[in-house]
Structure 1
Amino acid sequence: MTEAVPGTAQEAVELTYEPVLADSVGAVRARARATPSGRLQNGVLAVCALFALGALFLNLTASTGPRVGGTVFCLALLVMLVGMHRLVPGLQGQQMHRLYATQGAFRVIVDHEGVRQYSRDLDMTYRWGALPRYTETDDLFVLLSGDRHGVGIAFLPKRGIAGPAGADRLRAILDGNITRV
């Protein structure tokens, strides 16, 4: 369903959806890719993994032969680093999902003023100044606060948009009011 926005040529876009865990986890992962602090965290994990791989290589190719303790340590460190890269967004997404899962169906209206979310116990309005940036994934539009950490976050699942042109209309509203990152 769309609503005409008084005084503009833009139409509002309405979404209706039930929150699922994949939305929350996807939003946290998108935030990590779109914010400087998230990219820094991912970069530090990648550099640590490279050091662990280097240490493993040096251990395995040592002239005195590989040491079991060094090999086990390097492999455990690699598993931990890869696990952190996968596990942390999943845990953060689970925490976020717990808040939304109890609310039942969400109805969201996005227009030139901002985003309005309605559910059983929540009635929230975000004006564009509160969430001045967004990023897009295959399944979500993820709106972010202006701080470098993207502490404030809202997500709009594409599956909740009615009609095939709805995602394009929503993208046009977002592009007209906030910055894509």
Structure 2
Amino acid sequence: MDMNVEQEQEQAVELAYRLTKADMAEALRARDRHTAAGRRRLWVFRGVGTLLLLLGVPALFASSPSTDKPAFFVAAGVLLWVVSLYGHWLTARAFGGLLAKAGDTRTTVDDSGFQVANQASTTRMGWAVHPTYAETAGSFVLLSEGKGAVAIMVLPKRGAQDPAEVDRLRAILDRNLKRL
């Protein structure tokens, strides 16, 4: 039995990082790309934004615009497109204060789950909390199972001490979670 505990300890991967707004923006973008709710939200924002632009722009340039409605349609259409393209950055920026309070973070991942320790708290979670994950160029994004995948855990790859640990982390995640 001690041999299994030792192997599990050897399999554990420790990441040390400070989560940034860019990390959060990348995670939110991955969530929208890999969840039905995220894809639907983008489709609706872009579709309605385009429709409003198609209604507003021609009316705006008509010889005698009768009301301010065309300007409202154009402004609303542009706003929806901006939110669909840059909403991740805007939301990540809103997390700025929380990220600063968390400070340096140390996350240990093994086959039983993960432990996250930062300035504010230390938390141990099992895999059931985040049953799916997506991999981006810079991180692993663990997602909750709800329709909107509201809960997100971001594990930046730069937190690993060497590239081999990123591969070990990917192997642990593949054994315990569903990859999106």
Sort the TM-score into its range (normalised by shorter chain). Answer: 0.7 to 0.9
What SS does the aligned partner of 2:134 have? strand
Task: Report what 1:27 is aligned to.
Answer: 27
What SS does the aligned partner of 1:100 have? helix
Deviation of 1:88 (Å): 3.5
AA matched with 1:37: A
C-alpha distance 14-7 of structure 1, shift in aligned 2 (>3 A): closer
C-alpha distance 57-179 of structure 1, shift in aligned 2 (>3 A): same
**How do 1:1-181 and structure 2 match up within 5 A?**
6-7=6-7, 11-56=11-56, 59=59, 67=65, 72-181=71-180
| Aligned mates of 1:5, 1:140 — CA distance in 2 | 28
| Aligned mates of 1:87, 1:78 — CA distance in 2 | 14
Q: What TM-score results when the alignment is normalised by the length of structure 2?
A: 0.83
Deviation of 1:7 (Å): 4.7
Q: Detail structure 1 runs of 4+ shifted over 4 Å in the superposition.
A: 7-10, 56-61, 64-71
| Aligned mates of 2:45, 2:64 — CA distance in 1 | 25
Deviation of 1:105 (Å): 1.1
| Aligned mates of 1:16, 1:58 — CA distance in 2 | 54
Asked whether the equivalents of residues 132 and 143 of structure 2 are also in contact (C-alpha less than 8 Å), the reply is: yes
AA matched with 1:180: R
What SS does the aligned partner of 1:166 have? helix
AA matched with 1:81: L
Deviation of 1:102 (Å): 1.4
What SS does the aligned partner of 2:129 have? coil
Q: What TM-score results when the alignment is normalised by the length of structure 1?
A: 0.82
| Aligned mates of 1:104, 1:50 — CA distance in 2 | 41
**Runs of at least 5 residues in structure 1 that lack an aligned partner in the other structure:** none
Deviation of 1:120 (Å): 2.0
What SS does the aligned partner of 1:26 have? helix
Deviation of 1:6 (Å): 3.1
What SS does the aligned partner of 1:138 have? coil
Aligned length in residues: 176
Deviation of 1:31 (Å): 1.5
C-alpha distance 41-72 of structure 1, shift in aligned 2 (>3 A): same
What SS does the aligned partner of 1:78 have? helix
**Runs of at least 5 residues in structure 2 that lack an aligned partner in the other structure:** none
Post-superposition CA distance 1:130-178 (Å, at most 9, x none): 1100011111111011112112211101111111222221111111110
C-alpha distance 57-104 of structure 1, shift in aligned 2 (>3 A): closer
What SS does the aligned partner of 2:142 have? strand
Deviation of 1:79 (Å): 1.6
Comparing both structures, which one devotes a greater share of its residues to helix?
2
Asked whether the equivalents of residues 24 and 97 of structure 1 are also in contact (C-alpha less than 8 Å), the reply is: no
Deviation of 1:9 (Å): 9.6
